[in-house]
Amino acid sequence: MAGKDYYKILGVNRDASEKDIKQAYRRMARQYHPDVNPGDKSAEAKFKEVNEAYEVLSDKEKRQKYNKYGDQWQYADQFEKAGANQNIHWDFSGSGPQGFQFDQGDLDDLFGGIFGRGRTGGFTRQARPRRGRDIEHPVEVTLEEAFNGSNRILSMESREACPSCSGTGRIQNAVCSACMGSGMVSGIKRIEVKIPAGVKDGSRVRISGKGEAGYSGGKAGDLYLVVSVKPHKQFQRNGDNLKVEVAVPLLTAILGGETQVPTLKGKLALKIPPETQNGREFKLTGQGMPKLNSSSKGDLIAKVKVVLPEKLTDEEKALYHQLAALRPN
């Protein structure tokens, strides 16, 4: 029974740090992602393999089990409980895991104990249903999408109950060859998710029941979208508040008047009092970002940027000289 070398798949050493493993995964996941390689079955297969390897090596407990039992790590508890670890040797010499070597016993007896069937085919005990694993998936949105909310179609690696054995890991008292007895198979699924208005960097949006499938009839886990918001060229965000610079002509700042303030919903009129200084800030209540899971909103802070006139005519220059004479320094 040949074993998969998850370290080799990710291109890291067996003593690689968690950071090294994460960096290797991100690099390879971007390279082989189905959205980057549409229609490329080999890239899709590699993407599945990379995700499978990362799922195990990124989890400290799973990694320890893998280091001992190779790609049969998921049976570690059953092996050790049954004392099978005394009769099984996993060879990690050379470049990676080489395979199981049985000194005694019978593979069918071993898996029969795991999946609840003995050599005769009768039930000894039934596998207990287990809830599927929760999954995190990064999502990047624009500020406009964070303001209005949005829908996304995600392509992501998934582990579902094996259709050949209905998730039991067994077919007619034998180990299911499609899933190697695990009851689970990897694949690519596309799901539509809704990103609510008001999300910010680090927000975790829970999508119930869209995580990894459960084992032996257990409930599916949840999907958590980990949100990052792209910087905006015009607006600065501080929590639920927004800040924007507003260009105000010099004469409007001196004499007072009205100017237009940009918002994520359109433009609003702002009254500028006479003698408004450069850098003065005005608060537009309720014109900021929606507050997550709330009907209220933050504020918009409009910062005045006084704009000096250009290309003055001789007449205008003369008037400014008269003004300067009236208001000597």
Per-residue tens of pLDDT for the chain, all 329 residues:
346 889 999 999 999 999 999 899 888 888 888 778 888 888 888 888 888 888 889 888 889 888 887 877 777 777 666 554 444 444 444 344 444 444 434 444 444 444 444 444 444 445 577 788 888 889 999 999 999 999 989 887 776 777 777 777 777 767 776 676 667 777 777 889 999 999 999 999 999 988 887 776 788 889 999 999 999 999 999 999 999 999 999 999 999 999 999 999 999 999 999 999 999 999 999 999 999 988 999 999 999 999 999 999 999 999 989 988 888 76
Q: Given this model, what pLDDT does residue 99 score?
A: 44
DSSP state of 17: -
Q: Report yes or no: 43 and 37 within 8 Å, Cβ to Cβ.
A: yes
User: How many whole angstroms separate alpha carbon 246 and alpha carbon 235?
Assistant: 11
Domains and CATH numbers, the chain: 6-105 (1.10.287.110), 135-229 (2.60.260.20), 236-326 (2.60.260.20)
pTM over 0.85: no
Neighbours of 114 (CB within 10 A): 21
Contacts of 7 (CB under 8 A, 6+ apart): 13, 14, 16, 53, 57, 96
CA 96 to chain centre: 30
DSSP 271-311: EEPTTPPTT-EEEETT-SPBPTTSS-B--EEEEEEEE---S
